[in-house]
Amino acid sequence: MYEPIENKSDDFIKNLAKDIFNNKVFTSFMIPERENAQISMVFMPLMFMHPHHPHSTDDDTAKLRENKIWEILDEDDENVKYKAFLSSIGMIYEYYVDENGNNNTFPRGINGLPMFSSMRLLNFEDTEKLRIFYDQYSKIRQEADNF
Question: Comparing C-alpha atoms, which of 39, 33, 46, 36 is closest to residue 114?
Answer: 39
Mean pLDDT computed over 124-131: 96
Predicted local distance difference test score (pLDDT) of residue 140: 94
Burial degree of 88 (CB within 10 A; 0-12, 13-18, 19+):
middle
Q: Which residues pair with 105 in a beta bridge?
A: 116
Q: What pLDDT, in 10s, does the model give residues 12-26?
A: 999 999 999 999 999
Q: How far apart are CA 40 and CA 34, in angstroms?
A: 14
Q: CB burial class (10 A; 0-12, 13-18, 19+) of residue 2?
A: middle
The most confident of the ranges 18-27, 30-39, 107-116 is 18-27
Burial zone of 133 (CB within 10 Å; 0-12 exposed, 13-18 middle, 19+ buried): buried
Closest of 97, 108, 135 to residue 13, by C-alpha? 135
Most confident of 56-65, 100-109, 128-137, 138-147: 128-137
11 beta partners: none
Helix (H) / strand (E) containing 72 = helix 65-75
Using CA atoms, how far apart are residues 90 and 39, in angstroms rounded to an integer?
A: 14
26 secondary structure, DSSP code: E
The pLDDT value recorded for residue 69 is 61
What is the pTM (predicted TM-score) of this model? Answer: 0.77
Work out whether the CA dihedral 27, 48, 40, 96 comes out positive or negative: positive
Overall residue count recorded for the chain in this entry: 147
* 21 half-sphere exposure, CB direction, 13 A CA radius: 19
Mean pLDDT of 132-142: 95
